Structure 1
Amino acid sequence: MPEYPVIADRAQFHDAAQVLAGGTGPAAVDVERASGFRYTQRAYLIQVYRRDAGVFLFDPPAIGDMASLQKAIGGVEWVLHAASQDLPSLHEENLQPPEIFDTELAARLLGHDKVGLGAVVEDTLGITLAKAHSAADWSTRPLPESWLEYAALDVLHLIDVRDALESELFEQDKVDIAVQEFEAVRTRPARPPREEPWRRLSGLHTVRGRRSLAIARALWTAREEYARDQDIAPGRLVPDRSLVAAVRADPASKQELARVKEFNGRASRSQLDRWWAAIEAGRAATDLPAERVPSDTLPPPRAWVDRNPEADARLKTVRPRIEAVADELHMPVENLLTPDTLRRAAWKPPQSVDAESIGTMLAALGARPWQIERTAQVIALAFVDSLHAAEDAASDAS
């Protein structure tokens, strides 16, 4: 009998939920998925710890409705490590925290050099965790005892870590910053589905021509449908590079497709009829995809000097100043302001370059109030200085 048994029985689940409801303080929560093994990102194990209650490991696929757990801990703070990774899987089980404390994000805001769970536990508590099964197939049943111990340790110390990090946040006067960041993570809406997800095929940039793109789309769709039906990660059936290799080989027959050396994977030959039918469907398609699609992605900064020299000058002026602010706050610059947000502000700033206008723009790009407070004025002054430098250079040239 493992020290931390998995609860898969509904009666035991309701009993465990009652025990958790009688615990004290926040609830530590973690999720184990089967990323890279299964088609979905659903939770295959949910670990919960609460003081005066203990650690419980739940099997969501076997339990089904997790409402009793939501009722038990739905009124207290949930402590998670890297919450943005686990919240979507929790939401899929209708588990919604009213507030969160993200120990990984807190460690980032505090300037910790390493922010993985093991490193943060060791830094704050002096306890070394053995991280051996993070990439395991958590849909495996029964789960090995060593995996269960690993899963339990992911939450067992999390409340103590939270308390230690909260003390550091008070010492660095970053409690309000952390609260805003935690809430932004908790309430972040799910990304809308991509209009053409097949375009994310790795190596697709090597495919030329609309007809070839139609074949790539058909192969991707066929793999996606089969992966969903089998509940297997698509890349485990046929890797992206193999689909692209099949498109580029342009085989004349099913037998010729089978002879394409680069077309490999566990289902490349067992489902050969499926892949050949997709190739034929792509060749017969009348709705050929565009070779290029509109995108709001900015050009890489190295291209700015030619494509938008004024923006290039603004970015080169403002970036070191934002880095200096991040250094003063003792946190990574990307937590002060994401690189994409800063680039968009530099690429096309508001007509009125002042702190208020810049702040309005940053808010529209998703910046939190604390970020705007610490960066809007810095950005506005940098943009003005960049303009004056350009005017001075033009005057000297004339």
Structure 2
Amino acid sequence: MAVHFHEEDLPEGVLADGPVAVDTETMGLITIRDRLCVVQISDGKGDEHLVRFGPDSTYDAPNLKAVLADPERLKLFHFARFDLAAIEYYLGVTAAPCYCTKIASKLVRTYTDRHGLKNLVEELLGENISKAQQSSDWGGPVLNDAQREYAASDVRFLHRMREELNKRLEREGRMELAQACFDFLPARAHLDILGWADHDIFSHA
């Protein structure tokens, strides 16, 4: 298992076929203000790839975009809504079809309100991850070892988590509902970009 670091694009041919786990690191939580700094991606075979974008990046990244936009390749996220918006806004592609472990968790782990990645990894997989670098500066000139490990851990477990969550979705009869939510996520992310992030357009208000 290794963490590979790349500048501005993913090398061609480094990922196996099939689903990929994806995450992003940005300068903050407001997509159109806080630039995309890092995209993490893993095919679930043991390696993680980190693609860093500099402050003057044009976000060309043809190899990375091809993977993210591939309609035949499932993209796994934790809180996909945020990552999809960042990917659409900065890379200009829609990362679909997608799967969100946070939504799956909320649909089947109704006995708790703890749906963070750390909580899921601990309960479902019996592993521990550190979130100490979550609020660090991802736009600096150098990403230290702790940041790289944190970024890699955000995609390291998503394939295995999907398997466990799918078992529960099937058990509770909520797989079709989950899929409908996943299918809507790119539209939800697009609404966020356009200014409807805090307004429920389905409500009566």
Q: TM-score, normalised by structure 2?
A: 0.83
**C-alpha separation between the residues in 2 aligned to 1:76 and 1:181?**
18
Q: CA deviation at 1:34?
A: 1.1
**C-alpha separation between the residues in 1 aligned to 2:168 and 2:5?**
35
Q: TM-score, normalised by structure 1?
A: 0.45
Query: What is the DSSP-based 3-state SS (H/G/I as helix, E as strand, rest coil) of the residue aligned with 1:48?
Result: strand
Query: What is the DSSP-based 3-state SS (H/G/I as helix, E as strand, rest coil) of the residue aligned with 2:18?
Result: strand
Q: CA deviation at 1:64?
A: 3.0
Partner of residue 105, structure 2: 107
**Residues 41 and 89 in structure 1, CA contact (< 8 A), matched pair in contact too:** no
Partner of residue 117, structure 1: 117
**Residues 67 and 73 in structure 2, CA contact (< 8 A), matched pair in contact too:** no
Deviations 1:286-319 (A, max 9, x none): xxxxxxxxxxx9xxxxxxxxxxxxxxxxxxxxxx
Alignment RMSD, CA only?
2.7
**C-alpha separation between the residues in 2 aligned to 1:70 and 1:138?**
21
Query: What is the DSSP-based 3-state SS (H/G/I as helix, E as strand, rest coil) of the residue aligned with 2:134?
Result: coil
**C-alpha separation between the residues in 2 aligned to 1:169 and 1:193?**
32
Amino acid at match of 1:143: L
Query: What is the DSSP-based 3-state SS (H/G/I as helix, E as strand, rest coil) of the residue aligned with 1:51?
Result: coil
Query: What is the DSSP-based 3-state SS (H/G/I as helix, E as strand, rest coil) of the residue aligned with 2:83?
Result: helix
1:87 to 84, 90, 94: 84
Q: CA deviation at 1:69?
A: 1.5
Partner of residue 30, structure 1: 23
Amino acid at match of 1:152: A
The 3 A distance-change label for structure 1 pair 180 and 37 is closer
The 3 A distance-change label for structure 1 pair 182 and 37 is closer
1:383-398 to 2 correspondence within 5 Å?
none
Amino acid at match of 1:76: R
Query: What is the DSSP-based 3-state SS (H/G/I as helix, E as strand, rest coil) of the residue aligned with 1:19?
Result: coil
Show structure 1 runs of 5+ residues with no match: 195-296, 298-337, 348-398
Show structure 2 runs of 5+ residues with no match: none
Amino acid at match of 1:70: K
Partner of residue 180, structure 2: 180
**Residues 70 and 96 in structure 1, CA contact (< 8 A), matched pair in contact too:** no
Q: CA deviation at 1:94?
A: 2.1
Query: What is the DSSP-based 3-state SS (H/G/I as helix, E as strand, rest coil) of the residue aligned with 1:18?
Result: coil
Partner of residue 65, structure 2: 70
Q: CA deviation at 1:134?
A: 1.1
Deviations 1:259-312 (A, max 9, x none): xxxxxxxxxxxxxxxxxxxxxxxxxxxxxxxxxxxxxx9xxxxxxxxxxxxxxx
The 3 A distance-change label for structure 1 pair 9 and 87 is closer
Amino acid at match of 2:129: L
Amino acid at match of 1:98: A
Amino acid at match of 2:191: A
The total of aligned residue pairs comes to 193
Larger relative CO (CA 8 A, sep 6+): 1 or 2?
A: 2
**C-alpha separation between the residues in 1 aligned to 2:27 and 2:99?**
24
Higher helix share: 1
Query: What is the DSSP-based 3-state SS (H/G/I as helix, E as strand, rest coil) of the residue aligned with 2:43?
Result: strand
The 3 A distance-change label for structure 1 pair 172 and 36 is closer
**Residues 60 and 66 in structure 1, CA contact (< 8 A), matched pair in contact too:** no
